[in-house]
């Protein structure tokens, strides 16, 4: 690709990502740019990321792949100052109850409220409502058992919220155990 | 989330539910979760329950229920029964639940870390902000807010000088037609602007009740785009509320 065409494509990608509120699927951008080779597209993205965004300390944005798409986001080290500018006291984090509920739904989906409550050992109506309201989970159907309880599953917003492209990016339970064991081991010998 | 440091636990000692407390006791006593004898930590569990220290107060009944299970398990262990640990013994069941719950805690911890990294990145439509705003789009909330603005305006009207004009009869039915006609014309209605234009308290009250009634019957949607912002009223078209 000649340098002019490349610059043009990078400019277009940046512009359309700037305007979009949600992650944009790479396929849509490729179609728009008339590219059909994913590798070629990746090369364009790599140039854009390296030469113009990530490696340039004077740029405040970076390219982020989550929720199955591309998005322009601010660089993490700007967070504190941005918070001051927009006078946001604290980022609203999920409660432990919500996180536990979300863990069960993410790994066992679809799950019913009864299953969630049993696994957590406490009634989980509150966190389920809260997560529905935040659109991190949705009702996908009804379980064919007496009472026809609602079945809950995660949403695309869940993926974006946790910076995932798809559910398979969540580590398996085995990997998770290793992940935490490595961290916990040294403390045992203290 | 607590770790096995007992010094660290002091400040974070808060238990979401009975399973959380049990896992904490198992770790504290350096027991292996698979070989744990629940009867041994029953007393400690009961001591926590008595002191109510760090227990989620809205979960009292669930803490008590687990206490009952623990006492039952302990009483069983006192009886000379060779096949004490058969597959569906309450002890086996509880341990199984605990093992599963430990995984949930691990996943939660991982999600928390992921959440933390993601919260450092700001997006076009800031996720946190949209979370906060979304609550004000709820109909129940806007009804209160409608009321608040209504009383504000009534108060303002009280200080105004009125020319006494012969009272006209307002009814909800005619008011509704009038509002629908207005909406058909301009697409939406600014609530405060509309209501402050009305001349008499009587008309104000009738208009307000008509609006509430229409919101309740899903003929209208009340949307407030930001906190303390004006409330806009739209005709309710299917699908509009989704976004």
Domain that holds residue A37: 3-86
Judgement on whether residues A123 and A73 belong to the same structural domain of the protein: no
Distance of CA B115 to the CA centre of its chain: 19
Among A52, A86, A120, the domain-final residue is A86
User: Which positions 63-122 of A are in contact with B (Cβ < 8 Å)?
Assistant: 64, 66, 71-79, 82, 86, 88, 91-94, 96-97, 99-100, 102-104, 106-107, 118-122
Domain of A67, CATH number, reads: 1.10.10.10
pLDDT of residue B11: 40
- Top pLDDT among A24 and B13 is at A24
Judgement on whether residues A145 and A69 belong to the same structural domain of the protein: no
Report yes or no on A146 lying in a domain. yes
Residue B136 contacts residue B224 (beta carbons within 8 Å): yes
- Top pLDDT among A87 and B65 is at B65
Judgement on whether residues A16 and A67 belong to the same structural domain of the protein: yes
Query: Rounded to the nearest 10 degrees, what angle do helices B90-119 and B18-28 cross at?
Result: 100
**Predicted model pTM:** 0.62
Judgement on whether residues A70 and A137 belong to the same structural domain of the protein: no
Residues of chain B with C-beta less than 8 angstroms from the C-beta of A107: 107
Report yes or no on A102 lying in a domain. yes
In the predicted model, what is the mean pLDDT of residues B224-229? 65
Least confident of A97-101, B15-19, B34-38: B34-38
Cis link prior to B74 (omega < 30° from 0)? no
pLDDT of residue A151: 94
Residue B49 contacts residue B55 (beta carbons within 8 Å): yes
Judgement on whether residues A112 and A176 belong to the same structural domain of the protein: yes
In the predicted model, what is the mean pLDDT of residues B157-173? 68
pLDDT of residue A158: 92
* Number of CB atoms found within 10 A of residue B112's CB: 16
Q: Classify B122 as helix, strand or coil.
A: coil
The continuous run of DSSP H or E covering B19 comes out as helix B18-28
Judgement on whether residues A32 and A106 belong to the same structural domain of the protein: no
Residue in the structure block whose two tokens are 């050992």:
A121
The answer to whether A145 faces chain B, any CB pair under 8 Å, is no
pLDDT of residue B6: 40
The answer to whether A172 faces chain B, any CB pair under 8 Å, is no
Contacts of A140 (CB under 8 A, 6+ apart): A109, A110, A151, A152, A153
From the list B103, B108, B109, which residue is nearest A173 (CB)? B103
Q: How far is B147 from chain A (nearest CA, A)?
A: 24
- Say if residue B3's pLDDT is above 50: no
In the predicted model, what is the mean pLDDT of residues B230-241? 66
- The phi and psi torsions of B120 (rounded to 5 degrees) equal -75, -20
Using CA atoms, how far apart are residues B208 and B147, in angstroms rounded to an integer? 8
A150 beta partners: A142
pLDDT of residue B112: 92
Among A54, A116, A122, the residue to mutate for chain B (most B Cβ within 10 A): A122
**Contact state of B108 with A96 under an 8 Å Cβ cutoff:** yes
Cα angle: B213, vertex B215, B217; to 5 degrees:
70
Q: Classify A145 as helix, strand or coil.
A: coil
The answer to whether B97 faces chain A, any CB pair under 8 Å, is yes
Residues of chain A with C-beta less than 8 angstroms from the C-beta of B121: 62, 64, 73-76, 79, 163
**Contact state of B3 with A184 under an 8 Å Cβ cutoff:** yes
B222 beta partners: B233
- Say if residue B204's pLDDT is above 70: yes
Contacts of A48 (CB under 8 A, 6+ apart): A10, A13, A14, A63
The answer to whether A167 faces chain B, any CB pair under 8 Å, is no
- Say if residue B8's pLDDT is above 70: no
* Number of CB atoms found within 10 A of residue B66's CB: 21
Query: What are the b/e assignments for A84-118, b being 16+ CB within 10 Å?
Result: eeeeeeebeebebbbbbbbbbbbbeebbbbebbbe
Query: Rounded to the nearest 10 degrees, what angle do helices B90-119 and A173-188 cross at?
Result: 90
Query: What is the pLDDT confidence band of residue B26, given thresholds at 50, 70 and 90?
Result: confident
Judgement on whether residues A23 and A66 belong to the same structural domain of the protein: yes
Residue A159 contacts residue A167 (beta carbons within 8 Å): yes
Report yes or no on A16 lying in a domain. yes
Using CA atoms, how far apart are residues A76 and A171, in angstroms rounded to an integer? 23
pLDDT of residue B117: 87
Judgement on whether residues A77 and A104 belong to the same structural domain of the protein: no
Q: What is the pLDDT along chain A (190 residues), one digit of tens a residue?
A: 788 888 899 999 999 998 888 889 999 999 998 888 888 898 899 988 888 787 788 899 999 888 888 989 889 898 888 888 877 665 678 888 999 999 999 999 899 999 999 999 899 999 999 999 888 999 998 999 988 999 999 998 899 899 898 888 888 877 777 766 655 544 444 3
Report yes or no on A188 lying in a domain. no
**Contact state of A72 with B134 under an 8 Å Cβ cutoff:** no
Among A45, A66, A86, the domain-final residue is A86
Among A86, A119, A143, the domain-final residue is A86
Judgement on whether residues A39 and A107 belong to the same structural domain of the protein: no
From the list A97, A134, A180, which residue is nearest B106 (CB)? A180
Residue A96 contacts residue A128 (beta carbons within 8 Å): no
**Contact state of A121 with B66 under an 8 Å Cβ cutoff:** yes
Tokens of A116: 């969630």
Share of chain B above pLDDT 90, in %: 3
pLDDT of residue A188: 42
Number of structural domains chain A divides into: 2
pLDDT of residue A105: 95
Query: What is the pLDDT confidence band of residue B243, given thresholds at 50, 70 and 90?
Result: very low
pLDDT of residue A186: 45
pLDDT of residue A56: 85
pLDDT of residue A129: 92
Query: What is the pLDDT confidence band of residue B81, given thresholds at 50, 70 and 90?
Result: low
Judgement on whether residues A61 and A112 belong to the same structural domain of the protein: no
Residues of chain B with C-beta less than 8 angstroms from the C-beta of A184: 3-4
Q: How far is B61 from chain A (nearest CA, A)?
A: 9
Tokens of B242: 């989704």
Report yes or no on A91 lying in a domain. no
């Amino acid at each position: 690709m000649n340098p002019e065409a490349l610059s043009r494509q990078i400019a277009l990608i940046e512009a359309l990502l700037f305007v979009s509120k949600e992650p944009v699927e790479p396929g849509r951008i490729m179609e728009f740019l008339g590219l059909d080779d994913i590798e070629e597209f990746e090369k364009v993205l790599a140039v854009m990321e390296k030469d113009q965004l990530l490696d340039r300390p004077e740029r405040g944005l970076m390219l982020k792949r989550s929720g199955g798409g591309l998005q322009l986001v601010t660089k993490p080290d700007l967070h504190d100052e941005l918070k001051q500018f927009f006078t946001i006291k604290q980022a609203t984090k999920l409660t432990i109850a919500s996180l536990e509920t979300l863990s069960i739904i993410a790994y066992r989906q679809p799950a019913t409220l009864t299953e969630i409550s049993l696994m957590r050992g406490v009634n989980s109506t509150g966190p389920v409502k809260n997560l529905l309201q935040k659109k991190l989970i949705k009702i996908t159907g009804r379980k064919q058992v007496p009472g026809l309880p609602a079945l809950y599953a995660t949403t695309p917003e869940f993926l974006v919220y946790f910076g995932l492209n798809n559910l398979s990016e969540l580590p398996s339970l085995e990997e998770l155990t290793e992940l935490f064991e490595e961290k916990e081991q040294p403390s045992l010998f203290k | 989330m607590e770790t096995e440091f007992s010094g660290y636990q002091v400040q974070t000692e808060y238990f979401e539910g009975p399973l959380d407390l049990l896992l904490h006791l198992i770790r504290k006593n350096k027991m292996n979760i698979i070989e744990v004898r629940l009867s041994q930590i029953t007393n400690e569990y009961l001591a926590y329950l008595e002191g109510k220290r760090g227990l989620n107060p809205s979960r009292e009944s669930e803490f008590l229920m687990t206490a009952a299970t623990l006492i039952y398990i302990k009483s069983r262990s006192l009886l000379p029964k060779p096949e004490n640990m058969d597959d569906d013994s309450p002890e086996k069941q509880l341990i199984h639940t605990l093992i599963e719950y430990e995984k949930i805690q691990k996943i939660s911890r991982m999600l928390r870390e992921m959440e933390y990294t993601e919260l450092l990145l700001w997006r076009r439509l800031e996720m946190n902000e949209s979370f906060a705003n979304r609550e004000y789009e709820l109909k129940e909330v806007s009804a209160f807010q409608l009321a608040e603005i209504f009383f504000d305006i009534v108060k303002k009207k009280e200080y105004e000088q009125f020319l006494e004009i012969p009272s006209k009869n307002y009814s909800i039915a005619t008011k509704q037609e009038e509002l629908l006609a207005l909406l058909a014309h301009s697409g939406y209605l600014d609530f405060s602007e509309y209501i402050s234009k009305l001349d008499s308290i009587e008309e104000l009250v009738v208009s307000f009740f008509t609006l509430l009634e229409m919101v309740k019957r899903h003929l209208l949607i009340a949307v407030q785009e930001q906190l303390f912002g004006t409330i806009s009223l739209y005709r309710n078209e299917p699908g509009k509320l989704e976004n």
